[in-house]
């Protein structure tokens, strides 16, 4: 009995949920689902054919929730401590904005043109197109990193004085940037580079990163 997370561990959205669970010290099972070839039953619980989906087996059916943002919000209400959403209404809304930005703009700048090319294509036994990676790094990534560099400024965390869903949402996308063999250039984005390191050193992130690294390395080396 308990929680089941359906999804592949290298998905940034799956990791977002896992980091929330780790921060809250909640045990769960991970059921690996490949969203590109999902089993037919999966489509019943994920109409958009996306990972992650959470199942709370303590509840009667239907007991599944798709979408990382929906899942994280549910987890915050079910397990309120430690809080990962600010209590101040404006700060909470700011945190949700950064989560939205990470899930859309940051994900789009890193996912298709870099992580997909260098990791997922290899997993699918296709040849990565390095010209796509080069143009992604030249055109797509810099405006997003420039924005984050400004927003982080001299703050330890993106919102208020505590680690929040904003840092988890941004941090998880930057893990995929690193899995694709890149790190934010500390000369161009010194605050973002230091922030990334700080966030990834938290035990909640470290546990995921260390579990994923050998798998990603084996895919990239294939
Ligand atoms: N808004 C969704 C996005 C999830 C998402 O895009 N997941 C990707 C994997 S990283 C997926 O399942 N892609 C498969 C597809 O789009 O067919 C969330 O936050 O959970």
Please give the distance, rounded to the nearest whole angstrom, from the Cα atom of residue 49 to the centre of ligand 1.
Answer: 8
Place of tokens 């943002």: 69
- What is the rounded CA–CA span in Å between residue 171 and residue 177? 10
> Is 107 a pocket residue for ligand 1 (Cβ < 6 Å)?
no
Q: Would you say residue 88 has pLDDT above 90? A: yes
Residue 42's pLDDT is 96
- For the record, the structure tokens of 33 come out as 């689902």
Kindly report, residue by residue over 167-208, the tens digit of the pLDDT: 999 999 999 999 999 999 999 999 999 999 999 999 999 999
Say what percent of the chain tops pLDDT 70. Answer: 100
- Of 88-97, 137-146, 213-222, least confident by mean pLDDT is 213-222
Please give the distance, rounded to the nearest whole angstrom, from the Cα atom of residue 14 to the centre of ligand 1.
Answer: 9
Residue 83's pLDDT is 98
Q: Are 177 and 114 spatial neighbours (Cβ–Cβ below 8 Å)?
A: yes
- What is the rounded CA–CA span in Å between residue 152 and residue 174? 14
Q: Are 162 and 170 spatial neighbours (Cβ–Cβ below 8 Å)?
A: no
- What is the rounded CA–CA span in Å between residue 100 and residue 88? 18
State the DSSP code for 158.
Answer: S
- What is the rounded CA–CA span in Å between residue 17 and residue 54? 9
The mean pLDDT of 17-42, rounded to a whole number, is 96
Whole-prediction pTM value? 0.98
Please give the helix or strand (H or E) that residue 204 lies within, else none: helix 203-221
Q: Would you say residue 1 has pLDDT above 80? A: no
Please give the distance, rounded to the nearest whole angstrom, from the Cα atom of residue 187 to the centre of ligand 1.
Answer: 32
Please give the distance, rounded to the nearest whole angstrom, from the Cα atom of residue 40 to the centre of ligand 1.
Answer: 17
Q: Are 114 and 137 spatial neighbours (Cβ–Cβ below 8 Å)?
A: yes
Q: Are 19 and 168 spatial neighbours (Cβ–Cβ below 8 Å)?
A: yes
Residue 163's pLDDT is 98
Residue 222's pLDDT is 86
Q: What is the mean pLDDT of the chain?
A: 97
> Is 50 a pocket residue for ligand 1 (Cβ < 6 Å)?
yes
Residue 109's pLDDT is 97
- What is the rounded CA–CA span in Å between residue 132 and residue 53? 30
Q: What is the dihedral sign for C-alpha 198, 18, 183, 106?
A: negative
């Amino acid at each position: 009995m308990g929680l089941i997370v359906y999804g592949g561990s290298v998905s940034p959205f799956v990791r977002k949920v896992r980091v929330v669970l780790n921060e809250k010290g909640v045990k769960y099972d991970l059921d690996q689902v490949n969203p590109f070839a999902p089993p037919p039953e999966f489509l019943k619980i994920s109409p958009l054919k996306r990972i992650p989906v959470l199942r709370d087996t303590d509840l009667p059916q239907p007991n599944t929730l798709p979408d990382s943002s929906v899942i994280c919000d549910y987890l915050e209400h079910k397990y309120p401590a430690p809080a990962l959403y600010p209590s101040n209404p404006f700060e909470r809304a700011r945190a949700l904005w950064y989560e939205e930005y990470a899930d859309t703009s940051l994900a789009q700048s890193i996912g298709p043109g870099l992580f997909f090319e260098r990791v997922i294509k290899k997993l699918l036994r296709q040849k990565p197109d390095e010209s796509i990676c080069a143009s992604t790094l030249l055109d797509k990534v810099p405006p997003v990193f420039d924005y984050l560099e400004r927003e982080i400024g001299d703050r330890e965390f993106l919102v208020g004085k505590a680690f929040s869903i904003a840092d988890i949402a941004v941090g998880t996308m930057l893990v995929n940037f690193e899995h694709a063999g890149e790190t934010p250039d500390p000369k161009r984005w010194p605050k973002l580079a230091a922030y990334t390191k700080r966030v990834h050193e938290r035990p909640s992130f470290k546990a995921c990163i260390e579990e994923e690294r050998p798998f990603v390395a084996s895919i990239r080396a294939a």
